[in-house]
Structure 1
Amino acid sequence: MATGIATTLLTATASAAPSAGAPGVGDPYYPYAGNGGYDVSHYDIRLTYQPATDELAGTTTILARTTQELSSFDLDFGLHTNSVLVNNVPATFHSDPKENGELVVVPKEPLKKGQAITVVVNYADTPSKVVIDGYTAWKKTPDGALAVDEPQNSQWWFPANDHPTDKATHDVSVEVPDNVSALSNGTLVRTTKQRPGWTRWNWRSTQPQATYLTTLEVGAFEVNQVTTPDGKPFVTAYDPALGESLDAAKASVERTPEIDSFLATQFGPYPFEAQGGVVSTGLTFALEAQTRPVYSNKFFVAGSNTSVVAHENAHQWFGDAVSLGRWSDIWLNEGFATYAEYLWSEHEGEGTPAELAQYVYDSHPADDPLWKVLPGDPGVANQFDDAVYDRGALALQALRTTVGDDAFFTILKTWVAEHRGGDARIDDFIGLAEQVSGKPLHELFTTWLFTTGKPAVGPNGTAAPAAQPKSFAKIQRTHEQLAAQQRY
């Protein structure tokens, strides 16, 4: 009997041997995105960047907690690493940045499950020369650089657990020559000078933030900072190369607080501590960087464009505050942000969501490629296809038509309130929509998100009322402007 008790006790207290953390979180679109074995709570990124030579050097300190016993763990990172410390003890490491961009760290002693760890990575490289899987997200410009891209950009400037399901707070401190500025997310805590000719810019993001939404823009920007009517810092920056488009860019981006105030009436309170925007000639798209979207100058060559500002700021709710659980869930970001453009259009008197949705629906015949891509699972090659945006917005209009306005906007606000600071999946949204509306909706979502072919317009799945829009020409111009935008 005593022997049996001893055996039971030994069995109960035995634990699995430490093992390597997975090199990815299991995202089917990007197998090496993120890493297993730990959760990050904070990144402290402290760098020096020389635009003339594109040399980046510094240290990132990662605060995390293990979720299993670890003999080793991965960081998503492609730059040349000089050293790694784990809890102040030198660790061995190896990487092959050209293949998957994984930095494998082996601590001197295995790590226990639930253990708090501090990882310090020191590195130096020329980011524009670093290619991972045939690609670089770092964009060198004549006077600086942009670390702006989706679904990855952090691998070219700081080591991370690079997947939206592991969000963290960030401190970003970058020293640059005095003739340029360094923009990032959140609040500008201070600028300091520690040596002649150089200025250090210190930014802080206090809310959970996905790594791809953490950005760095270095250049000879015109930087402006004021306070929004509700007391938030509002920082904007404009590339001097904008030329004749500068005023149009300002006439759009400077309206961000007004646009966010409107979007708050539709989606619930603005979720972050700061607002702003950066406009650059160094990229061809816009990205919803948390608190501070980044826009290509191309959006403003024909004049002001508040639609793109509404789109990227709608992402502050859909994509930033509530992140996708898998990259196949991209509709939760882009379909919602596109629908926000429709809402803003109505607010500006330029066509209702129902009218704009009807125009989109009617503009694409049954054999149009738009109906061949599934917004709910578009595949890696079509992740940013027009179908995810336009057909994705039609799915929301179909939902609104089916459940009614009260339930529709309750669903949107509840979604943000329940998942803010975290991530969720399309199935979670469908479940919430059914719960709030009291209606069975799987057939509707299956039709609009997961079935090829142009959906039939009917009472339970119409894109919009069939009536001819009142101001067809204006609606056509509005939609053509939206369609001309490089998507992101």
Structure 2
Amino acid sequence: MRTGHLRSSRRVLLPAALLVLVTACGGGTAPMARPGAAGVNDPLFPGLGNDGYHVSHYGLTLDYEPEGNHLSGTAVIRARATEKLSAFNLDLKGLDVRSARVDGEPVRTSRKGTELTVELDKPVDKYRWFETTIVYDGQPQAVKDADGSTEGWVETDHGAVGLGEPAGSMAWFPGNHHPSDKAAYDIAVTVPKGFTAVANGELKRTEDKGPAGARRTTYTWHSGEPMASYLAVVAVGEFKVTTSKTPSGLPVYIAAHPGESEAAAKVAKLVPEVLDWAGGLFGPYPFSSTGAVIDRNPEVGYELETQPKPYFHAAPSDRLVVHELAHQWFGNSLTPRTWKDMWLSEGFAQYAEWMWEERSGGRSVRQIFDDYYDGRDPESKGEGGKTIWDFPPAGPGPETVSGLPVYGRGAMVLHKLREKLGDREFFRLVRGWAAQYRYQNVDTEGFVDFCEDAGDVGDVFDVWLFGKGRPAKR
């Protein structure tokens, strides 16, 4: 079983002769300190993230001036070493580092590309907790993905937004930017009076400061549940904010572009209904609040499941709201271990769309499946002759991590699994999957094993998940 598998690994007993060799080669001595690796060897983006430690908490204190697009920040990062470290890396794009401390002591740093190396005068021992403070500033930048989309720090007509999938979060704060390293967050953002700063989790307080005529407001947000950094968000704008609660008492916070008040009202009404419906299918909602940010951002042109309030670049359709809220279970609570496992997020979210359409009196899920298979559904094909059959859902490349097969064929895998198991067993399996790995990282191999342990899945995965080309319709 490979490293990171969801099942517990077997204990390996070494032959006596090999134990002698290990001891003779220094196996019994204290480990030497060494630098943590830059990158975690993700199958698609090997340079993302860093090895040698795991982060438990980010404390981000940001000050943003929309006029001139200037960001000043202090990041306090609490982490635990997984090996004895003489140095370690953080991911940071652009921005100037003004100072760095580890456990209160000044340390040296160096830069190479998006790698910020923190050099330690005194090693950090394995398993030891340590706190890193980075003070930085500059003009944060947008990032172009391998597939041509825009993320990072993106200016809008009334502010800016920081988006992170897959690598954009490094454009506005230093960190271990790989989905396998989830952490809690506290984010305080100071902006000019009249602007609103939205971030993850719940708004704990707002505070006005500064002299008359130059007042600024600090918005302090807390996200206690573990979160991958690509789901972190800061949206600054002249938003109109509405708050409410679902019938179960869950806080709802919606920030909308001044011109999207009608969409905000529609989303505020829809969110409780979708969460109640999805909770019946997937199990209890995993977070302590919900909501949305509804912007006008043509440069981005996509939605993102920022935790727990999705970001919409424009007024969303009902199906898009369903898709992004389904991600709160699949993608946010259960987060892909590597970017190659993305279909586990997008396949479930797409399948939720299909089920919502059927519930709303549209096509049945089976009809949608058939329309995808036959190429009648417009979402089954894209520009340049691309289709859902271009590659297996579990086998995207860096340019196709958000490709059609990851979404559409990922949903088809789930429907074939449902047909094989029957509704009762399928939804019992889905709720069990969401409950057992709540707030954890998951991977394709682990999901396959989980399903095979639950019942006879036949050749569903071999044909629909891993098979190349369009399989025979059965």
Q: Does 1:294 align with 2:311?
A: yes
- Flag the structure with higher helix content: 1
In structure 1, how many angstroms separate the alpha carbons of the residues matched to 2:402 and 2:339?
11
Q: Does 1:351 align with 2:363?
A: yes
What's 1:436 paired with?
454
Q: 1:130 to 1:355 in 2, by over 3 A?
A: closer
1:161 alignment partner, SS class? coil
* 2:198 and 2:234 in contact (8 A); partners too: yes
What's 2:102 paired with?
86
The number of equivalent residue pairs is 440
2:388 alignment partner, SS class? helix
C-alpha displacement at 1:136, in angstroms? 5.9
What's 1:71 paired with?
86
* 1:52 and 1:143 in contact (8 A); partners too: no
In structure 1, how many angstroms separate the alpha carbons of the residues matched to 2:418 and 2:145?
42
* 2:340 and 2:395 in contact (8 A); partners too: yes
Q: Does 1:223 align with 2:241?
A: yes
Cα distance per residue 1:328-374 (max 9 Å; x no partner): 11100101100001121222222322222122222269997321222
Q: 1:431 to 1:142 in 2, by over 3 A?
A: same
C-alpha displacement at 1:226, in angstroms? 1.6
Amino acid at match of 2:450: L
2:273 alignment partner, SS class? helix
* 2:341 and 2:394 in contact (8 A); partners too: yes
Normalising by structure 1, we get a TM-score of 0.86
Unaligned runs of 5+ in 2: 1-22
* 2:421 and 2:457 in contact (8 A); partners too: no
What's 2:13 paired with?
none
What's 2:302 paired with?
285
Cα distance per residue 1:365-390 (max 9 Å; x no partner): 99973212221111111111122111
Following TM superposition, the consecutive aligned residue runs of length 4 or more in structure 1 with deviations greater than 2 angstroms are 8-13, 128-136, 362-370
Cα distance per residue 1:390-445 (max 9 Å; x no partner): 111111111111111111111111111111111011111111111112x144x321
In structure 2, how many angstroms separate the alpha carbons of the residues matched to 1:181 and 1:268?
33
What's 1:117 paired with?
130
C-alpha displacement at 1:128, in angstroms? 2.7
C-alpha displacement at 1:14, in angstroms? 1.4
In structure 2, how many angstroms separate the alpha carbons of the residues matched to 1:132 and 1:248?
29
* 1:84 and 1:93 in contact (8 A); partners too: yes
What's 1:237 paired with?
255
In structure 1, how many angstroms separate the alpha carbons of the residues matched to 2:142 and 2:180?
29
Matches for 1:331-350 after TM superposition, within 5 Å? 331-350=343-362
In structure 2, how many angstroms separate the alpha carbons of the residues matched to 1:9 and 1:356?
64
1:426 to 440, 444, 449: 444
Amino acid at match of 1:400: R
Q: Percent identity?
A: 36
* 1:257 and 1:275 in contact (8 A); partners too: no
* 1:86 and 1:117 in contact (8 A); partners too: yes
C-alpha displacement at 1:16, in angstroms? 2.2
C-alpha displacement at 1:229, in angstroms? 1.6
* 2:336 and 2:442 in contact (8 A); partners too: yes
What's 1:373 paired with?
391
What's 1:41 paired with?
56
C-alpha displacement at 1:292, in angstroms? 0.3
* 1:374 and 1:449 in contact (8 A); partners too: yes
Q: 1:272 to 1:446 in 2, by over 3 A?
A: same
* 1:89 and 1:108 in contact (8 A); partners too: no
**Which deviates more from structure 2 when the two are superposed, residues 305-314 or residues 348-357?**
348-357
What's 2:8 paired with?
none
Unaligned runs of 5+ in 1: 1-7, 459-488
1:263 alignment partner, SS class? helix
Amino acid at match of 1:322: L
What's 2:201 paired with?
186
* 2:35 and 2:86 in contact (8 A); partners too: yes
C-alpha displacement at 1:446, in angstroms? 2.0
In structure 2, how many angstroms separate the alpha carbons of the residues matched to 1:11 and 1:357?
59
Cα distance per residue 1:242-289 (max 9 Å; x no partner): 4xxx42453135411210111000000000010000011123100000
Q: Does 1:456 align with 2:469?
A: no
What's 1:471 paired with?
none
Q: Does 1:276 align with 2:278?
A: no
Normalising by structure 2, we get a TM-score of 0.88
Cα distance per residue 1:113-151 (max 9 Å; x no partner): 011101000000100378899976210112211101411
In structure 1, how many angstroms separate the alpha carbons of the residues matched to 2:375 and 2:268?
30
1:108 alignment partner, SS class? strand
